[in-house]
């Protein structure tokens, strides 16, 4: 089940493989030489467990994520459903994508973030690269991926930092489409009752960083 390498990141290798006759994605967290071996093994195993649990849990909240076929925390390995589709980043940057569709997807992204935060789940790496746009029987849907840094928290600070992460990457990547960020915020505030408190705290955090 070695598979074809499709991405090598700082945290993990992603390979396209097969699992019981199905096309699948294998995610293997790579060892970190700067950490003691036992500590590194435990950290990678823990993050593998957390990611598998989060991918499963969020489905109950109406968020589409890949199905986990197999989890081997001791080997830092996850085998997941292969999702065929472009990233939301590519879709928003594609000049052929209608403006109204881009606004709709951004609002949906905000809705997804609102659902996560309403259940005190911090994604940890919200970017338009970690959302896939795929076809389904009803048309198109967004699929949220990469829960490797996800954790649970009710703290405004943690939720605000999650939003800041998305805002920074969005503005850096899609600086020519500010209306999209406005749509993200709209979807977020419509979904999550404490969204305005989080956004206000986000402004406070950004102010601290700016004048630190």
Residues annotated as catalytic are 125
3 state DSSP class of 26: strand
How many other CB atoms are found less than 10 A from the CB of residue 180?
A: 23
The dihedral sign for the CA sequence 76, 82, 86, 87: negative
Q: At what angle do helices 195-211 and 99-118 cross, to 10 degrees?
A: 100
Cβ pair 13, 5 in contact under 8 A? yes
3 state DSSP class of 21: coil
Query: Using CA atoms, how far apart are residues 186 and 116, in angstroms rounded to an integer?
Result: 15
Q: Residue with structure tokens 């093994």?
A: 41
Residues 6 or more apart from 177 whose CB is under 8 A from it? 92, 102
């Amino acid at each position: 089940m070695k598979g074809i390498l499709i991405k090598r990141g700082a945290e993990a290798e992603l390979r396209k493989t097969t699992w019981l006759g199905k096309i699948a994605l294998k995610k293997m967290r790579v060892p970190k030489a700067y950490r003691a071996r036992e500590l590194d093994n435990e950290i990678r195993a823990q993050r593998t467990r957390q990611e598998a649990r989060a991918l499963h849990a969020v489905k109950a909240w109406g968020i589409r994520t890949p199905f986990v076929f197999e989890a081997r925390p001791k080997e830092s390995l996850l085998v997941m459903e292969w999702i065929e589709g472009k990233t939301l980043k590519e879709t928003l940057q594609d000049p052929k994508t209608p403006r109204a569709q881009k606004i709709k997807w951004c609002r949906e992204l905000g809705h997804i973030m609102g659902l996560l935060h309403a259940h005190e789940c911090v994604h940890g790496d919200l970017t338009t690269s970690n959302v896939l746009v795929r076809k389904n029987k009803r048309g198109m849907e967004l699929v949220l991926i990469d829960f490797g840094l996800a954790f649970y928290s009710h703290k405004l600070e943690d939720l605000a930092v999650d939003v800041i992460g998305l805002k920074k990457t969005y503005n850096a990547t899609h600086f020519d489409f500010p209306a999209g960020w406005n749509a993200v915020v709209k979807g977020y505030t419509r979904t999550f009752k404490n969204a305005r408190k989080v956004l206000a705290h986000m402004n406070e955090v950004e102010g601290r960083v700016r004048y630190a």
